[in-house]
Chains A and B, each alone.
Chain A
Amino acid sequence: MTRASLALVVLGPFALLGLATVLTWVERRLLGLWQDRHGPNRVGPGGLFQPVADGTKILFKQDWIPPFADRSVFILAPVIGMMTVLLSFGVIPLTDTLWIAGNLNVGLLFILGMMGLGVYAVVLAGWASNSKYALLGGMRAAAQMISYEVFMGLSLLGVVMLAGSFNLRTIVSAQAGLWFIVPQGLGFCVFLLAGLAETHRLPFDLPEGENELGAGFHTEYSGMKFGMFFIAEYAGIVLISALIATLYLGGWRGPWLAPALWFALKTGVVVVFFILLRAALPRLRYDQLMALGWKVLLPLSLLNVMATATVLMLRATP
C-alpha cells in the first residue's frame, strides 16, 4: 500500500465528515431560499461557519445517557450508523483511478451489505433507548428499511446486467456511450425512491417523523451521539447521491471538466434534488409506505429486471 493511498484511507473519512457537516448548512440555506426566509446566515461569510459553531456546541454538550437505557447498545448504535456509511464510501470510484479504499469487484454488493447493516443502527437505537417514542421509531425503521432493501437490490440488477459486473468501475465504464438512466429509467426511479427510504428522508422520514414521534428513534440521544446520527444521515444522502451518479449518471465521465469534478457535480445535483423533495412533499403514513413498497415498487423492479433480461437476450441471439 503506497503512502498516498494510506493517506487517502485516513483522511478520506474525515473529508467526508466535513462534507456532510457542510451539507447541513447547504440544506438549511436552500430550504431557507425556497421557503422565503434567510436560513443560517450569521456565522462567517453567508453563514458558512454555522456547521463549525454547531459542531462545537454539540461537542460541549453533556454526554447524557438516560438511566433507563441499555448502556452499551445505546453507545454502539450511532457508531454502527456512522461506520456503515463511511465504509460504503470506500469502494465508490471518484475517478477512473481514484478510490478511498480501493476497487472491489463486488463493490455494489459490498455497499448493499453495508446498507443492510445500517438498519441495525436505527433499530438498536430505538430498542436501547427504552423509551416509547424511540421504540415506535425503531419499529418503523426496521419495517421500512428491510422492505425497501429488497427492491433496492432488485432495481440495481438491471444495471448489473447491462454492465455485466458488480464492479463499480466497470459499471461506469459501461456507460461510455449512454448513461444508464436512459435504458434503466424505471430502475432509476425505483432506486431513487428506495434510496430516499433508506436514508429516511422526506417523504419517507417515518422513523423520525417529528410531528408524530417527537424525534423517533433518536429521541433520547443528545450531544455527540446525536451528532453522529445527524452526520451519518447527511453522509448517507451523499452516499446515495454518489451511487446514483455512479450507477445511472455515468460517474466521473463527462467532457471538458476534470473527472473528479464531474463526479462531484453530478452527486451535488442529486443531493440538491433530495433537499428540494424535502421542501416540497408531505410525509406518507406508515401503512401507505409499506403498501407503496410491496405493491408498487417491488413489482416494478421485478418488471424492470424481466424487461432488461428480455432485451439482453434478444440482442444476444443473432
Chain B
Amino acid sequence: MPLALVPEPPPTLADTIAAPLPPGGLLATQVTADDVACLWISPASLRPVLASLKARAGSLLMLFDLTAIDERERTHRDGQPEGAFTVVYHLLSLSRREDEVRIKVALPAHDPALPSICDLWPNANWYEREVWDLFGIRFDRHPFLRRILTPPTWTGHPLRRDHHARATEMPPYSLTEDHEQAEQEAMRFDPSVWGMKRHSEHSDFLFLNLGPNHPSVHGVFRIVLQLEGERIVDAVPDIGFHHRGAEKMGERQSWHTYIPYTDRVDYLGGVMNNFPYVMAVETLAGITVPPRAQMIRIMLAELFRIASHLVFYGTMAQDVGQLSPVFYMFTDRERVFSLIEAICGFRMHPAWFRIGGVAMDLPNGWDRLVRAFIDDLPARLDEYDAMVMRNPIFRARTKGVGAYTTSDAVEWGVTGPGLRATGLAWDYRRHAPYGGYDQLDFDIPTGECGDCYDRVAVHVAEIRQSLRIIRQCVDNMPAGPVKADHPLTTPPPKARTMHDIETLIHHFLSVSWGPVIPPGEARCCIEATKGVNAYSLISDGGTTSYRTRIRTPSFAHLQMIPQLCPGIMIADLIAILGSIDFVMADVDR
C-alpha cells in the first residue's frame, strides 16, 4: 500500500544547529514569550556554529542584532546556564520566517571575552564595539575595538547593572581647565589610529572633518574624510554624539512611563516607536489588543510614516541643492501633524499607545479630517514628482550614485527602503505581519539598482502605499473598545474599583508603581519609517524592565557608509547621506 506522503515542513535553522556542534556545545534551549528559537551554546563553539549557519542559510541571513545582558542581578533565570554576562546574537533570515534564531553565550564576571565575528558579518563591527563600550565585554581579533557611544575618556561601562544611571548618583560635576584640555585632546583626530594613511605614493591627503556640526549630516554625525582633491579615498564615521542612554533609562522607568522615551528614539517616527515597545510588553504580559485599537495604531503609525518620509523627501532635495521642495513638504507634514494633534492632542511625540491599546478613542469627525488629507496628498505628490524626481539635475546627481546590491545590504544589516531599493521586496509587515497588518492590502515598492535615486523613489512610492493603508483603516474601522480588558494594561481598568476593595488596591498599585509584568523575554519588530526597529525586553518580574534593548535601523545604515565612499566626490557623499534616511537619535539612542 503506498504511503500517503504528508509533506513535512523543512527543518528550521535552529533544528539543524546541533550538527556542527562538538559534544557539550549546545548547553540549553530557552523558550521565550516571542517564540523565537533561542539556543545557548558554549563560547568555544560560537564561531563554528555561526559560520556553518551562514554557510547553510544562503545569502539572506542577516546578523540582525548583537547585544548583551548583565545577568548578575537577575533572579528569574530558570534553566539558563550560569554566567554573569550573556551575549546575544540575533540572526534573521529574510527568506523564511521560521529560520530566525537567537544564540546566547554565557560569560564569566571576570574579564568576559569572545572571539570577534567581524569576518563573518561585517556589521558585527559596530555592534561588538557597542557591547564593549556599554558592557565591557572584549572581542578578540576585533579590528578596532574602541568606545563607540560614550566619549573616549569615559570610565566604566554604562549598561552594567552597577554603573550609575543618573547624574544625581554622582558627585557634582565641575570642568577644570586641565580637564577640558584633556577632553579636547582626546577628540584630536589622528589618521593612523583611525586606520588611514597620510600620504600615497604621489600625494599628501587632505583630511576633512565633516561634522558633528555640518548642515548636511542631519544632526550630530561626524565623518572624517580622507581626500585627494575632492575625491574621497576613505571615510571613517564617528557616532555617539547623540547618545542619551535610552536603554539605561528603560531599567529605571516603569513599563508605562517608558513609552514617551521611545517616541524620541526615532524622533521623526512619533508613535511608530511606541509600537514595538508596547507590543513587546503585551507579549510578555499575554495581552491581546482589541481590533479597533489595532486599526487605530496602524493608522497613526502610517501617518507618521508619511510625515517622516516627507521630511526625508524634502531634505534629500535640499541636500542636492534644491531650495524649495522642503518648504512644500514641510507644509504637508504640518497637515499630518494637525491631524495627529486632532487625534492625540500632541504633534511630534504623542506617546499615545498604551500597554493593551491606545490612550483614547478617536474624536468625533476624525474620519472627515483623515479623508480630506488622503484625498488631497496624491495630487501634491504628483507635483513633487515633476519638481524633484523628474528634474534632470536631480537625476544626474542621484542616479548611479551610492549604489549597493541586495547581498551587500543583507551583509550590513540594511533594512527598510534602503533594502527594497536594491530590488528585494522584503517588508517586515509582510514577512511577519504584526498588529493587524495581515488584514490590509498594500504593495511593497522596490527599486532596481539600489542607488540614491532608487532609495528616494521607494520612499515616495511608500507614501502612496501608506495612504492606501490609511484609506483602508478609515473605511473599515471596527467598533469596540480601544484598550484590552486586562489587569496589566495601563492605565489599569477602573470600572470596578469603587465596588470592591481588592480591585481598588490593585488599581492603586498599578497606577502608582506601575504594572508588574511576568518574568520572561520578548522581542518585537516592526517595519518602522527607516527600517526594522525592534525592542527586546526582559522582565524579571518587576515594575521596570530588567533589560531594554533597542535595535534601530539607522545604526546599521550608517555603518555601511564607508563602503560606498571610495572614489566618490564630497557632493556624492552628501547625496548618499541624504538618501540613507537616518536620524542620529535613532543611531545613538
Chain B contacts with A in 244-293, Cβ cutoff 8 A: none
Does A7 belong to the interface (CB within 8 Å)? no
Q: Which residue of B lies closest to A34 (CB)?
A: B324
In Å, the complex CA distance between A139 and B215 comes to: 20
Given A35-B328, A132-B206, A202-B323, answer yes or no on A282-B393 (Cβ-Cβ < 8 Å): yes
Given A284-B397, A285-B397, A287-B569, answer yes or no on A212-B574 (Cβ-Cβ < 8 Å): yes
Does A306 belong to the interface (CB within 8 Å)? no
Top-6 shortest CB links A-B: A283-B321, A282-B322, A35-B327, A282-B321, A282-B320, A285-B571
Are B396 and A288 touching (Cβ within 8 A)? Answer: yes
In Å, the complex CA distance between A132 and B208 comes to: 7
Q: How far is the CB of A245 from chain B (nearest CB, A)?
A: 26
Q: How far is the CB of A317 from chain B (nearest CB, A)?
A: 42
Interface residues of A (CB under 8 A from B): 31, 34-37, 132-133, 136, 139-140, 202-203, 205, 209-214, 278-288
In Å, the complex CA distance between A278 and B394 comes to: 14
Are B570 and A279 touching (Cβ within 8 A)? Answer: no
Q: How far is the CB of A38 from chain B (nearest CB, A)?
A: 11
| B216: A residues at CB distance < 8 A | 211-212
Chain B contacts with A in 397-452, Cβ cutoff 8 A: 397
Q: How far is the CB of A71 from chain B (nearest CB, A)?
A: 23
Q: How far is the CB of B490 from chain A (nearest CB, A)?
A: 41
Digit string of B303-336 for contact with A (CB within 8 Å is 1, else 0)?
Answer: 0000000000000011111111001100100000
Are B391 and A285 touching (Cβ within 8 A)? Answer: no
Does B198 belong to the interface (CB within 8 Å)? no
Are A211 and B321 touching (Cβ within 8 A)? Answer: yes
| A285: B residues at CB distance < 8 A | 396-397, 569, 571-572
Are B574 and A211 touching (Cβ within 8 A)? Answer: yes
In Å, the complex CA distance between A213 and B322 comes to: 15
In Å, the complex CA distance between A211 and B206 comes to: 19
Q: Which residue of B lies closest to A281 (CB)?
A: B393
Are A210 and B322 touching (Cβ within 8 A)? Answer: no
Are A136 and B570 touching (Cβ within 8 A)? Answer: yes
Q: How far is the CB of B504 from chain A (nearest CB, A)?
A: 55
| B230: A residues at CB distance < 8 A | 136, 139-140, 286
Does B214 belong to the interface (CB within 8 Å)? yes
Interface residues of B (CB under 8 A from A): 206, 208-209, 214-216, 229-230, 317-324, 327-328, 331, 387, 391, 393-394, 396-397, 569-572, 574
Beyond A31-B324, A139-B229, A140-B230, 17 additional pairs, beta carbon < 8 A: A36-B331, A132-B209, A133-B208, A203-B321, A211-B215, A211-B320, A212-B571, A212-B574, A279-B323, A281-B321, A281-B393, A282-B391, A282-B393, A283-B393, A284-B397, A286-B569, A286-B571
Given A282-B320, A282-B394, answer yes or no on A210-B215 (Cβ-Cβ < 8 Å): yes
Contact of B215 among A31, A36, A214, A281 (CB under 8 A): A214
Contact of B317 among A136, A139, A282, A286 (CB under 8 A): A282
| B394: A residues at CB distance < 8 A | 282
Q: How many A-B residue pairs have CB under 8 A?
A: 81
In Å, the complex CA distance between A139 and B208 comes to: 15
| B396: A residues at CB distance < 8 A | 284-285, 288
Q: How far is the CB of A219 from chain B (nearest CB, A)?
A: 11
In Å, the complex CA distance between A140 and B209 comes to: 18
Are B319 and A211 touching (Cβ within 8 A)? Answer: yes
Are A212 and B397 touching (Cβ within 8 A)? Answer: no
In Å, the complex CA distance between A31 and B328 comes to: 12
Contact of A205 among B208, B215, B321, B393 (CB under 8 A): B321
In Å, the complex CA distance between A287 and B327 comes to: 29
In Å, the complex CA distance between A283 and B571 comes to: 10
| A282: B residues at CB distance < 8 A | 317, 320-322, 391, 393-394, 397
Between A and B, 23 residue pairs with Cβ closer than 8 Å are: A31-B323, A34-B324, A35-B327, A36-B331, A132-B209, A133-B208, A139-B229, A139-B230, A203-B321, A209-B571, A211-B216, A279-B323, A280-B324, A282-B322, A282-B393, A282-B394, A283-B320, A283-B322, A283-B397, A283-B571, A284-B396, A285-B396, A288-B397
| A280: B residues at CB distance < 8 A | 322, 324, 387
| B324: A residues at CB distance < 8 A | 31, 34-35, 279-280
| A205: B residues at CB distance < 8 A | 321
Q: Which residue of A lies closest to B393 (CB)?
A: A282
Contact of B318 among A140, A211, A214, A288 (CB under 8 A): A211
Given A211-B574, A282-B393, A285-B396, answer yes or no on A36-B328 (Cβ-Cβ < 8 Å): yes
| B572: A residues at CB distance < 8 A | 285
Of A139, A279, A281, A282, chain B has the most CB atoms within 10 Å of the CB of A282
Q: How far is the CB of A313 from chain B (nearest CB, A)?
A: 37
Q: Which residue of B lies closest to A132 (CB)?
A: B208
Q: How far is the CB of A273 from chain B (nearest CB, A)?
A: 16
In Å, the complex CA distance between A230 and B10 comes to: 70
Are A214 and B214 touching (Cβ within 8 A)? Answer: yes
Given A284-B396, A285-B396, A286-B569, answer yes or no on A278-B323 (Cβ-Cβ < 8 Å): yes
Are A37 and B321 touching (Cβ within 8 A)? Answer: no
Q: How far is the CB of B503 from chain A (nearest CB, A)?
A: 55
Q: Which residue of B lies closest to A289 (CB)?
A: B571
Q: How far is the CB of A229 from chain B (nearest CB, A)?
A: 18
Are A209 and B206 touching (Cβ within 8 A)? Answer: no
| B208: A residues at CB distance < 8 A | 132-133, 136
| A279: B residues at CB distance < 8 A | 323-324
In Å, the complex CA distance between A34 and B229 comes to: 37
Q: How far is the CB of B333 from chain A (nearest CB, A)?
A: 13
Q: Which residue of B lies closest to A37 (CB)?
A: B327
In Å, the complex CA distance between A279 and B229 comes to: 30
Contact of A203 among B327, B328, B393, B570 (CB under 8 A): B393
Q: How far is the CB of A127 from chain B (nearest CB, A)?
A: 14
Q: Which residue of A lies closest to B208 (CB)?
A: A132
Q: How far is the CB of B261 from chain A (nearest CB, A)?
A: 32
In Å, the complex CA distance between A35 and B572 comes to: 26
In Å, the complex CA distance between A314 and B38 comes to: 88
Q: How far is the CB of B387 from chain A (nearest CB, A)?
A: 8
Given A35-B328, A279-B324, answer yes or no on A284-B215 (Cβ-Cβ < 8 Å): no
Q: How far is the CB of B323 from chain A (nearest CB, A)?
A: 6
| B215: A residues at CB distance < 8 A | 210-211, 214
Are A35 and B323 touching (Cβ within 8 A)? Answer: yes
Are B393 and A284 touching (Cβ within 8 A)? Answer: yes
| A283: B residues at CB distance < 8 A | 320-322, 393, 397, 571
In Å, the complex CA distance between A278 and B391 comes to: 14
In Å, the complex CA distance between A35 and B326 comes to: 9
Are A281 and B322 touching (Cβ within 8 A)? Answer: yes
In Å, the complex CA distance between A209 and B324 comes to: 16
Q: Which residue of B lies closest to A288 (CB)?
A: B396
In Å, the complex CA distance between A139 and B570 comes to: 13
| A136: B residues at CB distance < 8 A | 208, 230, 570
In Å, the complex CA distance between A31 and B325 comes to: 12
| A133: B residues at CB distance < 8 A | 208
Contact of A281 among B318, B331, B391, B574 (CB under 8 A): B391
Of B321, B331, B393, B572, chain A has the most CB atoms within 10 Å of the CB of B321
In Å, the complex CA distance between A285 and B208 comes to: 18
In Å, the complex CA distance between A37 and B318 comes to: 17
Of B206, B391, B394, B570, chain A has the most CB atoms within 10 Å of the CB of B570
